[in-house]
């Protein structure tokens, strides 16, 4: 297990009232935020199947996912084990369980807009550790 502490400001400085330009083929990139409140970014996994996912992460606060393009599936650990949640266009999902994601059509072929706090801790564990000890 490892823990990462994210503290404000945890996002780049950007010019307001201008288009933001996320880079292509990045797994995670924070694009903007409001210090000590929230930050937003784009998530686009390189993994293409659940079998490639070795570890899941869980923040000490929920995060909101909204599919932007393509196909993106979250792998979520809960009391029943591990399940897949395919994101749907226009249907946001609030995630608080251990999770990771994959793009079934190829690396970075799907992307989601993510909103999370500007200050949080993230716990990372192997998939089996979440399912054997309960999520």
The reported pLDDT for the residue numbered 74 is 98
Q: Contact, 59 vs 100, CB < 8 A?
A: no
User: Which pTM was predicted?
Assistant: 0.93
The reported pLDDT for the residue numbered 24 is 87
The reported pLDDT for the residue numbered 80 is 81
Check pLDDT > 60 for residue 79.
Answer: yes
Residue-wise pLDDT tens digits, 82-122: 999 999 999 999 999 999 999 999 999 999 999 999 999 99
Phi, psi dihedral angles at 54 (to 5 degrees) = -100, -30
The reported pLDDT for the residue numbered 133 is 56
How far apart (Å, rounded) are the C-alpha atoms in residues 69 and 88? 9
How far is residue 97 CA from its own chain's centroid?
11
82: number of Cβ within 10 Å: 19
Whole-number Cα distances in Å, 87 to 39, 83, 124: 20, 13, 22
Residue-wise pLDDT tens digits, 29-78: 999 999 999 999 999 999 999 999 999 999 999 999 999 999 999 999 98
From start to end of the chain, where are the E strands?
Answer: 2-6, 28-34, 38-43, 55-59, 63-69, 73-78, 81-86, 93-95, 99-102, 111-117, 120-126
CATH superfamily of 2-12+22-133: Jelly Rolls (2.60.120.10)
Q: Is 35 helix (H, G, I), strand (E, B) or coil?
A: coil
């Amino acid at each position: 297990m490892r823990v990462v502490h994210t503290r404000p400001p945890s996002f780049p400085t950007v010019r307001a009232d201008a288009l933001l330009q996320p880079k292509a083929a990045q797994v995670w990139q924070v694009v903007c935020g409001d210090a000590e409140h929230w930050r937003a970014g784009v998530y686009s996994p390189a993994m293409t199947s659940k079998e490639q996912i070795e570890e899941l992460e869980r923040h000490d606060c929920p995060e909101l996912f909204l599919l932007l393009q393509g196909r993106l599936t979250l792998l979520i650990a809960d009391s029943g084990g591990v399940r897949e949640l395919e994101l749907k266009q226009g249907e946001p999902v609030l995630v608080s369980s251990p999770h990771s994601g994959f793009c079934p059509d190829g690396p970075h072929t799907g992307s989601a807009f993510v909103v999370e706090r500007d200050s949080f801790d993230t716990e990372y564990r192997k998939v089996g550790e979440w399912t054997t000890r309960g999520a």
